[in-house]
Chain A
Amino acid sequence: MQPDGTPLLSVDNLEVHFPIRAGVLQRQVGAVKAVDGVSFILERGETLSLVGESGCGKSTTGLALMGLVKPTGGHVNFDGQEIRSFSSAALKAYRRRMQIVFQDPFSSLNPRQRVRDIIRAPLDIHAIGSKAERRARVAELMERVGLRPDQADNFPHQFSGGQRQRIGIARALALSPDIIVCDEPVSALDVSVQAQILNLLGDLQRDLGVSYLAVSHDLGVVEYISHRVAVMYLGRIVEIAPKTDIFASPTHPYTELLMRSAPSHDPRQRHQFSATSDDIPSATRKPSGCAFHTRCPLASDICKRVDAELTTRADGRLVACHNK
């Protein structure tokens, strides 16, 4: 929290709708509401995780905040300044302070560039420092993320998956951003290497005070790295709460279902999962009212007609549910 109480990032009613076109004239016949009215704040030095299953809009939210897909509605306020237009000039200044680490360290690094050039690219684009200073900064960053600076002239294919993810992190750190969007930062990595990267992200936050907006489907990872967690379902946030609260006592029926579905990691406490299937709707054919009502054990008549808004509960958490 800053002295004046404004959060570092506040997102208000963000919308990303993709047109569905059909016919010879490619007329718009509908819209995929990938992100449909998402609001949250992110404080300095904090990690907020967006969690949910494929197609819930968590990655699109991250990409929209980076300006990598264009939002179709809503407001984004960064450090007291409204990002009005996602125009290229405004974006350039804003991206200097907000960076992203992608999921796949194999496709997110240019295979023809040397590591030195990959990490230096943000400094070049924003014309920061002299040639010698940039060189020194690259060495410093490589050391910071646990790579040997003498490997700076190597190409990405000469590194393992975990090392490549470190290169991606060094590139994201180059401009000393306030926020890093981490889009499934470890899901392409082996478990033993995942732990190295999660530890690195934790160290960097402690030392540099950077905020993370983490996007993940993995509840273990989310529980480990987050301060607060926002659960998304079909383009909407259904619950936001501090990590300990949400894992100890999920309130929204969807949050509860997610928690119940995660493996126990204890063979003596097996879940006895039910084999019964439920039909899962998609963002193209979103159910009316509360989108979760088709799978919800508590669904009542109002849930089919009216979407539930996020409201503050007695314990301070935000939940969007008519019946909880």
Chain B
Amino acid sequence: MTASTSAAHVPVFQVSDLNIEIDSGTGPFAVVSDMSFTVDAGETLCIVGESGCGKSMTALSLLRLLPEGVRVGSGSIRIDGAEFLDMDQRQVEDFRGEQIAMIFQEPLTALNPVLTIGEQIAEAVRQHRSCSRQQARARAIEALQLVQMPDPDRRAVQYPHELSGGMRQRAMIALALACDPKIIIADEPTTALDVTIQAQILGLISDLQKRLGTAQILITHDLGVVSEVADRVIVMYAGRKVEEASIYELFDHPLHPYTIGLMGAVPRGGASAQAGDRLADIAGTVPALWNLPKGCAFAPRCPNAAPRCLEERPPFEEKRPGHWAACWEHDDAA
């Protein structure tokens, strides 16, 4: 069960019980387990976690772009009710761009260095729509205007290396939006950018969503970014969801000790910060996915761990209205 499943309505995007495995010399092990969520039109879901928590693998699986040796073991990904995992390669290629598109972290490696920005966008348009070169080119300029690229006619004939980092990220967003997808997945879209440019790109992402009503999934490690753009948040740890709630509910009442730890660990001082104050750090490090502890994966680092936590994995359940968490501690909070 996920936070916004209701009987009558079919969400734009529905992921259920997704399991992703990696092959290794000693047999497969799970990198993502029991991942379920839905996203509606006009909604931004943020998936937060640290390196190795499975958030990027989840993102890649949603476009069926998992690297060699990594595969979806079981589960379902439905776009407007159609099962994406059952489609053949041609259908998948039709769906990508047209229905679902991705914004990557590093635009310099995601864009093709030998094609101009305009050619890349036009190519994507022609892939999905029968239109003339001229129409595709016009659509490319339109997409660049949509992302508020200054001087779009001139930018369209430039190569990626001729643009600054922020402009490249705008170009990539234009590429993702060129065919009006219903769902946008953005994997750390501002991590490689300076803070003043990050602010512009976050402003752009929110602005576009308001205008176009796309469903968005934003993958990030940065709770600051989450606080600016999310409607709903999933916190992941060691390949599993540990908490899910609306943005206000999560920031007002974080339940899982990992979420609470993450929030305390972010230095952001405010006027009250004094040199010498200690940050609330989380002891230890993330466990290896091939060697997860038996009970709750966070138990070895958890300040509140009880004997039961080391033995049994807590179920992911609704602890407060619209607020799910996997923790034994809040068993009676519901």
Interface residues of A (CB under 8 A from B): 47, 53-54, 160, 162-163, 190-196, 198-199, 202, 206, 217-221, 223-227, 243-244, 247-248, 257-258, 260-268, 270-277, 279-280
Contacts and interface: CB of A to CB of B under 8 A. Distances in A.
Given A192-B265, A223-B269, 8 more contacts: A47-B275, A53-B197, A199-B281, A224-B269, A267-B230, A276-B148, A277-B148, A280-B166
B108 interface: no
A277 B276 CA distance: 38
B2 to A, nearest CB: 21
Question: What range describes how many residues of B lie at the interface?
Answer: 35 or more
16 contacts: A54-B194, A162-B285, A195-B266, A195-B267, A196-B283, A261-B196, A265-B223, A265-B266, A267-B227, A267-B248, A270-B228, A273-B203, A273-B228, A275-B148, A276-B148, A280-B197
Closest 5 CB pairs of A and B: A263-B224, A273-B203, A224-B267, A195-B281, A195-B265
Interface string B213-248: 000000001111101101000000000000000011
A226 B275 CA distance: 7
Nearest to B148: A275
Nearest to B202: A273
A227 B275 contact: yes
Most buried by B among A54, A224, A226: A224
Nearest to A226: B275
B286 interface: yes
A266 B251 CA distance: 8
Nearest to B48: A191
A149 to B, nearest CB: 19
A277 B163 CA distance: 13
Interface in B186-207: 194-200, 202-204, 206-207
Nearest to A53: B194
Given A190-B221, A196-B281, A277-B150, A263 B204 contact: no
A61 to B, nearest CB: 17
Contacts of B170: 277
Nearest to A54: B194
Nearest to B261: A192
Contacts of B85: none
Most buried by A among B164, B203, B283: B203
A276 B281 contact: no
Nearest to A257: B196
Nearest to A52: B194
A202 B276 contact: yes
Contacts of A279: 150, 164
Interface string B246-276: 0110010000000001101111110101011
B154 interface: no
Contact of B224 (A160, A190, A265, A276): A265
Contacts of A226: 275
B306 interface: no
Given A273-B203, A280-B166, A191 B276 contact: no
Contacts of A275: 148, 200, 203-204, 206-208
A224 B279 contact: yes
Contacts of B4: none
A244 B271 contact: yes
B149 interface: yes
B268 A191 contact: no
Contacts of A258: 195-196
Contacts of B271: 244, 247-248
Given A195-B265, A267-B227, A243 B275 contact: yes
Interface string B39-57: 0000000000011000000
Contact of B265 (A194, A264, A272): A194
Contact of A261 (B51, B195, B247, B275): B195
Contacts of A257: 196
Nearest to B199: A261
B282 interface: yes
B166 A265 contact: no
B266 to A, nearest CB: 6
B278 interface: yes
A113 B140 CA distance: 53
A53 B224 contact: no
Contact of A264 (B207, B222, B227, B264): B227
Contact of B282 (A195, A218, A220, A227): A195
B131 interface: no
Contacts of A262: 195, 199, 224
Most buried by A among B195, B276, B286: B195
Contacts of B100: none
Given A192-B50, A227-B275, A280-B166, A271 B281 contact: no
Contacts of B251: 266-267
Given A263-B224, A264-B224, A191 B275 contact: no
B91 to A, nearest CB: 34
Contacts of A243: 275
Nearest to A281: B164
B196 A272 contact: no
Contacts of B228: 263-264, 267, 270-271, 273
A247 B273 CA distance: 11
A272 B203 contact: yes
A218 B269 CA distance: 12
Contacts of A265: 223-224, 227, 266, 268
Nearest to A159: B285
Contacts of B262: 191-192
Contacts of B50: 190-192
A268 B170 CA distance: 27
B292 interface: no
Nearest to B225: A263
